Amino acid sequence: MKRVWAATTIAAMMVGASVAGVSSAYADVVKFGIIMPFSGPFAVLGKQAKEAVEAFQKLNGKTVNGHEIQVIWRDEGAGDAAKTRQFAEELILREKVNVLGGFALTPDALAVAEVISEAQTPTVILNAATSIIPRKSPYFIRISMTAAQYISPLGGWATKNGVKTAYTMVSDYGPGIDMEGEFTSSFERGGGKVVGKDRVPLNVTDFAPYMERALQSKADALFIFAPGGAPSVAMVREFERRGLKQAGMKLMGSGEMQEIFLPSFGDSVLGAISSNHYTESNQRPENIAFRKALNDSTGREAVPDIVAVAAWDGMQLVYATVKSLGPKFTGDQAIDFMKKQTINSPRGPVSFDPKERDIIQNVYVREVRKVDGKVINVDIATVEQVRDPWKDNNPNAK
Amino acid sequence: MTQFLTILLDGTSYGMVLFIISVGLTVTMGLMRVVNLAHGAFAMIGGYIATVLVLKLGVPFLLATVLAAIAAGILGGLAEITVYRPLYRKGELPQVLLTIGLCFVAIAALTFFVGPTPLPAIVPAWLDQMVDIGFRLYPAYRLFLIVVGGLLAFIVWLIIERSLFGARLRAAVDDPQMARSVGMDVSRMFTITFVGGCALAGFGGAVGAGVLPLEPFYALRYLVYFLIVVAVGGMGSFRGSLVAALAIGIIDTAGRYTVPQFGGFLLYLLVFALLLWRPNGLLPPKSVA
């Protein structure tokens, strides 16, 4: 009796295995491993990315031509390059992901460059914004933005709109210093003058003394940059509370004025100018569909940010790749295919610089306004198809 | 002169927030020698409760901060009885591990239930404006912080220096063994102090949200400042913590205003020098002096 049972079990297992084997020949699983922060100070980025990916899969299905697209998440934490590298290795070796992606922070993206080069794994950068990253591995492609790219139109816009002097206040780290440099050079090219600058340590939360210095400078405008979240919110709040607006200063920035942060501020943020590659309230059909999908999927009035839109477009890129190349592709094939794509993104048309594998997109100058009782960003100027200016200024930097 | 006064006001208001939050920590650390790294979490929870009360239920700002203090106090009491009490006889390492773990639990819980984005400010309109203080326009909110902080410092001073409970508390901080042997119920005293400290922290988190913005990482982000207040002031010293908090607020503000390029570490340099000079803080209680 026991033997019969054992035999049937083995037979059943063999049948099961062969069925599984047969089915995999027709329908493969394509794995997309994403490393984003779900804990720590940048947890909001992971949440935004995940909601966008889930909404995308709800709308478009989890399969492409019968091949299942499986997304595997790992927690980047508060930014830990060693851990991120370890996750990348684990995803590539154990999970055998076909595509890797994510990375909120530059050091974490840089940390996986070697790994993906060795494994030849195509890797889609969903946030990290330092210009040099894609040059660190031929398997990187970026679908987010570079800091220099999305700030580049702001200085020129300011000089054309009556701003003659500016004070700059940036967080004292890589992207902050890039921002300060890019804004200053474009502002001075247009004839403006930077009358003072502050670099604020990242751990600072009380911005009173810096705002006081800016107020005393009597500049026409204050240009700010701080990483999105608590630091940027505290910066803008102090600008409001200290009455810099009443003193006639215009607030200018970038990601600080994203729609998700606007409810944190009072009405004095109205009129603030920012430069960004995605305006949450734009009326493109792609954006309306995107926001509807997000609302349906999350069951609430979700406000997407730049990470959500990057994750959404990242999914478009992966789906398009599987549609054209099938479930099996090499890293070179995938990157070759991806960098030739043009995507109708919720932010506007998106393409890639094939040589640099970096994104080319519109950048919008927006003003914070109250429309129908809601505080949102409204586009007031558009610069089309902006390349990363840093790459052109530093053609040989590695 | 105007600049000097501005720095003084900015620094004092900032220091007052640090004082309100940290005073409970200094007393409990001095009294029971428990390294409570989760203190910032109680301030954070207080701030979250007040924000939810104001934004979702329309409770007036001042009432919300008081309710937040009460809620944080009750939570603190529960935590003291269930989690902290078994810790008193353990070494410092288990205390550090457990309390930092509580911090992570609080961070994860708030991220999960409320979300990871910073909370909107709940400073009401009557505070969120500029007032003329003679030599310049100045944010009313910061003046309010100075007044509230001063008032609370006075009340805490009354309790600690002028009441029987305070006398016992000081005695227990100075020499817990002696206090026990003359029949004082030190552990009950500790529960009461712990509740009071957590309530103050919750109040500080709520009222100071305009200076220390609320987000789930709050519990760890500002912990360093709270611990500096305790270390510089001297563990268990009420007066020390007031002096330390104000000094930190003013020095930090002045440093960032006058020499912003050193702003980030001027404070730490001074703390470093001061602790080399007086390892037990500015005004340590007698037991450690």
- On the question of pLDDT at A382 being above 80, the answer is yes
Residue A13 confidence (pLDDT) above 60: no
Instruction: Return the minimum-mean-pLDDT range out of A50-59, A77-86, A197-206, B235-244.
Output: A197-206
Which tens digits make up the pLDDT trace of B60-90?
A: 999 999 999 999 999 999 999 998 888 887 8
Query: Does residue B289 sit within a domain?
Result: no
Is residue A25 pLDDT above 50, yes or no? no
Determine the residue among B215, B227, B253, B266 to mutate to test chain A binding: the one whose Cβ has the most chain A Cβ atoms within 10 Å: B215
The answer to whether the Cβ–Cβ distance between A210 and B260 falls below 8 Å is: yes
Mutate to test the interface with A, among B117, B129, B215 (most CBs of A within 10 A): B117
Instruction: Judge if ipTM > 0.90.
Output: no
Looking at the partner chain, which of B130, B215, B264 has a beta carbon nearest the beta carbon of A229?
B215
Residue A349 located in a structural domain: yes
State the pLDDT confidence band at A336, using cuts at 50, 70 and 90: very high
More confident call, A174 vs A88: A88
Percent over 90 (pLDDT), chain A: 71
Q: Report pLDDT digits (tens) over B19-32.
A: 999 988 988 887 77
| Residue A2 reports pLDDT greater than 60 | no
* Same domain, yes or no: A326 and A378: no
Q: How far apart are the first and last CA of chain A?
A: 70
Instruction: Report the CATH number at residue B26.
Output: 1.10.3470
User: Domain containing A156: what range?
Assistant: 148-276+364-393
Please, are residues B255 and B262 in contact by the beta-carbon 8 Å criterion? yes
| Among A119-133, A177-191, A197-211, B55-69, the least confident range | A197-211
Is residue B285, in this structure, part of any structural domain at all? no
One-letter amino acid at A302 equals: A
pLDDT value for A19: 44
Q: Is the pLDDT of residue A12 over 80?
A: no
Identify whether B145 is part of a domain: yes
The answer to whether the Cα torsion of B280, B286, B287, B289 is positive or negative is positive
Does B107 contact A201 at a Cβ distance shorter than 8 Å? no
* Residue B174 banded pLDDT, cuts 50, 70, 90: confident
Residue A132 falls inside a structural domain = yes
Helix (H, G, I), strand (E, B) or coil at B139: strand
B257 interaction partners in chain A (CB closer than 8 Å) = 209-210, 212-213
Residue located via tokens 């200076």: B211
Are residues B141 and A260, on separate chains, in Cβ contact within 8 Å? no
Q: What confidence category does residue B177 fall into, taking pLDDT thresholds of 50, 70 and 90?
A: confident
CA distance B96 to chain A (A): 19
Report the number of distinct structural domains present in chain A: 2
CA distance B222 to B208: 12
Least confident of A49-63, A382-396, B258-272: B258-272
Quote the mean pLDDT of chain A: 90
Say yes or no to pLDDT of B128 above 60. yes
Element of type H or E holding B137: strand B137-139
CATH for A92: 3.40.50.2300
A343, A312: one domain = yes
Q: Give the model's confidence band at A6: pLDDT under 50 very low, under 70 low, under 90 confident, else very high.
A: low
Picking from B75, B74, B49, B77, the residue whose alpha carbon sits closest to that of residue B63 is B49
Residue of chain A with shortest Cα separation from B116: A44
Does A7 reside within a domain? no
Note whether A41 contacts B215, CB cutoff 8 Å.
yes
Same domain, A74 and A106: yes
CB B238, CB B23: distance < 8 Å: yes
Q: Residue B260: what residue type?
A: P
Q: What is the pLDDT of residues A188-241, one digit of tens each?
A: 999 999 999 999 887 777 888 999 999 999 999 999 998 877 788 889 988 988
- A176 and A253 belong to one structural domain: yes
Q: Is residue A15 part of a domain?
A: no
Q: Is residue A191 located within the same domain as residue A299?
A: no
Residue A40 has pLDDT above 80, yes or no: no
The closest alpha carbon to A386, from A357, A352, A355, belongs to A352
Assign A41 a pLDDT band (cuts: 50, 70, 90). Answer: confident
User: Is the confidence at residue A174, as pLDDT, over 80?
Assistant: no
Give the percent of chain B with pLDDT over 90: 46
Closest partner residue to A264 (CB to CB) among B6, B118, B218 is B118
Distance from CA of B66 to the nearest CA of A (A): 22
Same domain, A249 and A387: yes
pLDDT mean over B222-234? 90
Chain B contact probe: residue of A50, A198, A206 with most B CBs at under 10 A:
A206
Together in a domain, A224 and A265? yes
How far apart, in whole angstroms, are the C-alpha atoms of residue A252 and residue A166? 10
Whether residue A339 is predicted with pLDDT greater than 60 in this model: the reply is yes
In this structure, are A239 and A369 located in the same domain? yes
Within 13 Å and on the Cβ side, how many CA atoms surround B107?
Answer: 23
CA dist A288 and B245 (Å) reads 50
Q: Is residue A302 part of a domain?
A: yes
Question: A294 with A260, same domain?
Answer: no
In a domain, B288, yes or no: no
Those residues whose C-beta lies under 8 Å from the C-beta of residue A30, and which sit 6 or more positions away, are: A64, A67, A68, A69, A70, A98, A99, A318, A322, A327
Average pLDDT over residues A46-64: 96
Q: Report how many domains make up chain B.
A: 1
Question: Which residue in B111, B252, B265 is closest to A43 by CB distance?
Answer: B111
End-to-end CA distance of chain B: 38
Residue B189 lies inside a defined structural domain of this protein: yes
* CA pair distance A27, A203, nearest whole angstrom: 50
User: Quick one: pLDDT band at residue A23, thresholds 50, 70, 90?
Assistant: very low
Q: Is the pLDDT assigned to residue A24 strictly greater than 60?
A: no
pLDDT category at B289 given cuts 50, 70, 90 is very low
- Residue of A24 and B75 predicted with greater confidence: B75
Is A265 or A311 the better-scoring residue by pLDDT?
A311
Same domain, A346 and A268: no
In a domain, B153, yes or no: yes
Q: How far is A33 from chain B (nearest CA, A)?
A: 22
Statement to judge: residues A289 and A374 lie in one domain: no
A127-146 average pLDDT score:
94
Which chain B residues contact residue A199 at CB under 8 A? 260-261
Chain-wide mean pLDDT for chain B?
89
Which H or E element spans position B21?
A: helix B2-32
Beta-carbon separation of B217 and A230 below 8 A: yes
A300 touches chain B (CB under 8 A): no
Report if residue B283 sits inside a domain. Answer: no
Give residue B186's domain range: 2-277
Q: How confident is the model at residue A17 (pLDDT cuts 50, 70, 90)?
A: very low
